Structure 1
């Protein structure tokens, strides 16, 4: 009968564990493409790099990303894997993050069971591990970062697996567990910079086991620890070679997101680190990460009920600090608090995430202790205690879920904090594409560029960089042309387009929570003509590029700036990047050459984006020298290939041309 009851209990724990993992999956994967309704630059970057791996373009697409973008090989390969399984590239990184977050929860239960075997009595061990796993499944920051498309959950998964391997290494006295630990810790360095604490944690725990070796000899402890570090080195070796030749890639994000040690000397750095550690530990239960993108501002890392449980568990572990399992857990939270302490504006909850499974484990220790205490006080006491603990964890989990899906995801500050505007603008552009041609600016702004490449790549929507010096104007196109302008980045294009097309209509806008239009879509009717030049002409260059007109003053005084506006057209994409020039001089040799302007031909439009039915209006400015002699000069325009310096031949011209330069007009210097 007892065997039957034991089997039923084991099956019950297994079922409960499965339900908790299913809950974690539901919270992390449910409505994933819409909450949060953004495509943050990190997430988009990982999706793009994952796509390069899937397409075989680059097997290790790491590069100095700038902008504080994480550079995680793990996240790139994880995004590539889910893309290979059929997930759209735009949502591949957040799917990978969510799946990793589920794995953290799934791995925590067996890890805690292994750590507490022989330390906690049955069935308190199982109840404690289940409670810890449930707390992790519903943990607010675990939920937030699992749905954010970043690499942070991977560092938490690495921490859980290192905990399992590190404990089993010394408990079983097996080299294979040392190898497992080292491989996980080594590869974990490619997840997130918080994982830099993993080797330190390994060293600290090895030192503790050397001080209290138990059944092992101290020599054996060092042998096992050394084997783990050797395995870590070998696992990381291919990446170490890469990072040796590209150190900036590894250090870029670390340097951008930590301030300790930059200035003030050793004592100032120690003081700053100490203050950071204090804020990290206060952040566990009392203060919150103040950045709205990283937290619901002011919310601590754990809710009050879970905090009460975990601090009681920490006290219990300290009371039994010579127990190897508790030494491991205390070293876990002690060492892994350091990356957050060294960050800008601690507590940085993203870097505290590897601590979260251990902190949940301490909460589980308190649950196990409560079960032990009630076991001697009868069934009624057990039921009351179990009900109170379950209710507290459930209410805390419900509060965390509400805080994320309603409080955090609905706060207006997220529009700027994680850049909602890029995705909303891209979605509006795709909706407009059904009605006609759509062009969206601006393309090179990194917070827009990566989301645009992922969401709009391969679609009918064109993206480009509009500048005051170059703008494409629709000219007699058969379909309406809609311009999407992000006004906070490009304030000049919308007024210019409205002046050129008085009949154009604003069809939609993406509104900022503060009440102004973040981006505006202006539709130009079919057949509308581009602005006409003051002086018409027709000069055709080799390859089909045409100069159809220009605006220019006929005279200027020495020291003044002459503004020349050129009207370009092309039958289709250009064959290469071209450089245009304007020379202001005298005669065939432009001697003397008073001024010139050389620069890329409409640099915001790459050669493949030139299209028939547009006039590309660019502005070039030439400043006359103060000592310019009065007299008659001329303006000459041409184009050349910047890689060879060879001018494009003028194949036909309605104005005089010499040496592949079109002569525009006589010009007087007064």
Structure 2
């Protein structure tokens, strides 16, 4: 084994050896277990994955250099830049972003082999590469297009270059080390502890070894130049950069002690329960990998030549796990993703130790079959746990926005490209909708929450409803259009559909109502869709159902007020008896409306219990939200006041 601080020169190559074939097999196996779910996961895209995809789309639409994206609590820019060519080639789809993650995860296997060769020797490094290839933790996160997956790759390459630089004393290796360390700052906030770990090692060498000082200064200079834009951004926008780390930090001693206990149990008992980052509760090590990991720990402690390596590996493990120990939701497998690298190195050392021990006992090359069998067994368990158990886990469908993505896949293949599409109950700013909208172009994509309003199109349209949350959606839609069910997602247990795709054909005249249309400021047209009751009683709630249309593209949001006036009105010295003000379809703001849409919304007007009997006027008007000026009435004719007398009602006595 090569020592961590004074490694021997590599031996000359003599063609492919057993270790080389093992590395090739590890890369192929790692690629297979990470890519076999492409077809299934084509209908899965998490909220956070979509945010990174949107950042990449913004780079394609507006090319620029930026170290940080402040959206969604902030994210380093390395991953969005890496995603850009994949999205440019394959479109705004789950496949595009997931392909990037699979490639990065597979390349990390090769990077671990490179690092292992610097500290373990060729054979143990090959076993380490195989251990990472089949480690469930890393395999799971390689399926998710999250920026954290870039951290182990860049960090491992940086450490491999650092150790190689110290071994060879060559300036080009120090330069590569500096560039990799600088870029590490653009991957994930947990990577900064790896940077500090590397700087501590560099500082130790700088003090003790004069021969490396020139190379160290070169590496530090290049690292500083690469990371300078991030440092400058953090100096100007500290809240953006620290928003996420500070929001999840846990520096209380009791919390830290609790986190340490949780991490102690995560190895063999209960791991991360967050279904996004793990099969809920699955421990880090399965029984077969635990054997190799334990053998690695014993070997590192027993072999004198490995003790420096043990201290170095312990430091790397500490730098990897601290981001989770010092934050909430421990054991958090995403924040501690760097720990997958030392785990693979220890397991690889254990596999090599088992092989060498058996060789001494039975004196045959077949001794390598036992650690290989253990690795194959752990790979089979990991494959089953992800492809069978995690993909079918009940939390995963909602977590990975299966309703949106399955519906979009269906619409993309089955719906005409000129038909508008609406999702409920959602907001147009939902990142998955925003990202996948590019994949559905040129269709108009809208979103609203049917609990508060309904968006009706003048032309045939598609509606996607989360039926489990709004079972009355079809009935509400059918009041204004002829509705056909195109697709439903049902569970085998016969429970209500998770989502339904409808086609709505507008019914002529359904949205005309009985009252004349009122125009406000030449911007909005408002129409009462139902005649109000002739009389109400104190304590009742009067429902005013309005149809609202934009007369031109709107630049700001508006609210509607519905008031109950007596005689005289409040503007003539009378009393405002009750009011029902509300933003117009807050889930689908006026600035997002498209031509040919009618917003159907109910406004509640509570009748006071102390109101005297008599005739009252229901009046309505429009003003700039949240509390701006009212819009004047411009049709059917200019009015004296900035409100419209909709109808009179009789309030009966009790």
TM-score per shorter chain, which class?
A: 0.7 to 0.9
Alpha-carbon distance between aligned partners in 1 of 2:557 and 2:533, rounded to the nearest angstrom:
29
Alpha-carbon distance between aligned partners in 2 of 1:491 and 1:245, rounded to the nearest angstrom:
49
Alpha-carbon distance between aligned partners in 2 of 1:246 and 1:513, rounded to the nearest angstrom:
51
Is the contact made by 2:295 and 2:354 (CA closer than 8 Å) also made in structure 1?
no
Alpha-carbon distance between aligned partners in 2 of 1:602 and 1:576, rounded to the nearest angstrom:
13
- Give the SS at the match of 1:466: coil
Question: Counterpart in 1 of 2:107?
Answer: 103
Residue ranges of structure 1 left out of the alignment (5+ in a row): 117-124
Residue of 506, 510, 518 corresponding to 1:539: 518
1:42 Cα deviation from its structure 2 partner: 1.0
Deviates more, 1:569-578 or 1:126-135: 569-578
Question: Counterpart in 2 of 1:358?
Answer: 342
Count of residue correspondences: 632
Alpha-carbon distance between aligned partners in 1 of 2:342 and 2:171, rounded to the nearest angstrom:
24
1:525 Cα deviation from its structure 2 partner: 4.1
Alignment of 1:314-325 (within 5 A): 314-319=297-302, 320=304, 324-325=308-309
Alignment of 1:219-618 (within 5 A): 232-257=223-248, 260-262=250-252, 266=253, 268-280=254-266, 283=267, 285-319=268-302, 320=304, 324-370=308-354, 372=356, 381-430=363-412, 433-434=415-416, 437-444=420-427, 449-457=430-438, 458-460=441-443, 462-473=445-456, 477=459, 479=460, 481-490=461-470, 493-498=473-478, 504-511=483-490, 515-525=495-505, 527=507, 529-530=509-510, 533=513, 535-541=514-520, 543=522, 545-550=524-529, 551-554=531-534, 561-570=541-550, 573-574=553-554, 576-585=556-565, 586=568, 589=571, 591-592=573-574, 594=576, 595-607=578-590, 610=593, 614-618=597-601
Question: Counterpart in 2 of 1:63?
Answer: 70
Is the contact made by 1:35 and 1:405 (CA closer than 8 Å) also made in structure 2?
no
1:198 Cα deviation from its structure 2 partner: 0.7
Question: Counterpart in 2 of 1:120?
Answer: none
Is the contact made by 1:530 and 1:615 (CA closer than 8 Å) also made in structure 2?
no
Alpha-carbon distance between aligned partners in 2 of 1:235 and 1:226, rounded to the nearest angstrom:
14
1:41 Cα deviation from its structure 2 partner: 0.7
Alpha-carbon distance between aligned partners in 1 of 2:30 and 2:528, rounded to the nearest angstrom:
64
Q: CA offsets, 1:525-560, max 9 Å, x none?
A: 454553664x42133445474333354345556776
Question: Counterpart in 2 of 1:121?
Answer: none
Alpha-carbon distance between aligned partners in 2 of 1:357 and 1:162, rounded to the nearest angstrom:
13
1:105 Cα deviation from its structure 2 partner: 1.0
1:192 Cα deviation from its structure 2 partner: 2.5
Is the contact made by 2:427 and 2:449 (CA closer than 8 Å) also made in structure 1?
no
Alpha-carbon distance between aligned partners in 1 of 2:584 and 2:603, rounded to the nearest angstrom:
10
CA separation of 1:639 and 1:201: change in aligned 2, threshold 3 A: same
1:89 Cα deviation from its structure 2 partner: 4.6
Alpha-carbon distance between aligned partners in 2 of 1:615 and 1:6, rounded to the nearest angstrom:
76
Question: Counterpart in 2 of 1:122?
Answer: none
Q: Give the root-mean-square deviation of aligned CA atoms.
A: 3.9
1:566 Cα deviation from its structure 2 partner: 1.9
Question: Counterpart in 2 of 1:665?
Answer: 647
Is the contact made by 1:439 and 1:462 (CA closer than 8 Å) also made in structure 2?
yes
- Give the SS at the match of 1:113: helix
Alpha-carbon distance between aligned partners in 1 of 2:193 and 2:270, rounded to the nearest angstrom:
23
- Give the SS at the match of 1:34: helix
CA separation of 1:649 and 1:41: change in aligned 2, threshold 3 A: same
Alpha-carbon distance between aligned partners in 2 of 1:302 and 1:35, rounded to the nearest angstrom:
25
The TM-score, its normalising length taken from structure 2, stands at 0.83
Q: CA offsets, 1:77-121, max 9 Å, x none?
A: 1222322344545433322221211221121222221224xxxxx
CA separation of 1:93 and 1:505: change in aligned 2, threshold 3 A: closer
Question: Counterpart in 1 of 2:164?
Answer: 168
Is the contact made by 2:522 and 2:551 (CA closer than 8 Å) also made in structure 1?
no
Alpha-carbon distance between aligned partners in 2 of 1:427 and 1:85, rounded to the nearest angstrom:
18
CA separation of 1:438 and 1:416: change in aligned 2, threshold 3 A: closer
Alpha-carbon distance between aligned partners in 2 of 1:650 and 1:347, rounded to the nearest angstrom:
60
Is the contact made by 1:340 and 1:351 (CA closer than 8 Å) also made in structure 2?
yes
CA separation of 1:16 and 1:384: change in aligned 2, threshold 3 A: closer
Q: CA offsets, 1:491-547, max 9 Å, x none?
A: 55444234556x6343322235763222223443454553664x4213344547433
Question: Counterpart in 1 of 2:26?
Answer: 20
Alpha-carbon distance between aligned partners in 1 of 2:214 and 2:50, rounded to the nearest angstrom:
44
Is the contact made by 1:588 and 1:658 (CA closer than 8 Å) also made in structure 2?
no
1:189 Cα deviation from its structure 2 partner: 3.4
CA separation of 1:469 and 1:333: change in aligned 2, threshold 3 A: closer
Q: CA offsets, 1:348-374, max 9 Å, x none?
A: 333343122222222322344455556
Q: CA offsets, 1:625-658, max 9 Å, x none?
A: 67767665534333345599565554431x7833
The TM-score, its normalising length taken from structure 1, stands at 0.81
1:65 Cα deviation from its structure 2 partner: 1.3
- Give the SS at the match of 2:232: helix
Alpha-carbon distance between aligned partners in 2 of 1:148 and 1:138, rounded to the nearest angstrom:
16
- Give the SS at the match of 1:483: strand
Is the contact made by 2:46 and 2:400 (CA closer than 8 Å) also made in structure 1?
yes
Q: CA offsets, 1:200-247, max 9 Å, x none?
A: 43355458x57xx9xx73788899878866765553332233234433
Q: CA offsets, 1:437-456, max 9 Å, x none?
A: 5422122287xx22122223
1:143 Cα deviation from its structure 2 partner: 1.5
Kindly indicate whether residue 133 of structure 2 is the aligned counterpart of residue 137 of structure 1: yes
Question: Counterpart in 2 of 1:35?
Answer: 41
Q: CA offsets, 1:23-58, max 9 Å, x none?
A: 433333345253374111111111111100111176
Question: Counterpart in 2 of 1:184?
Answer: 180
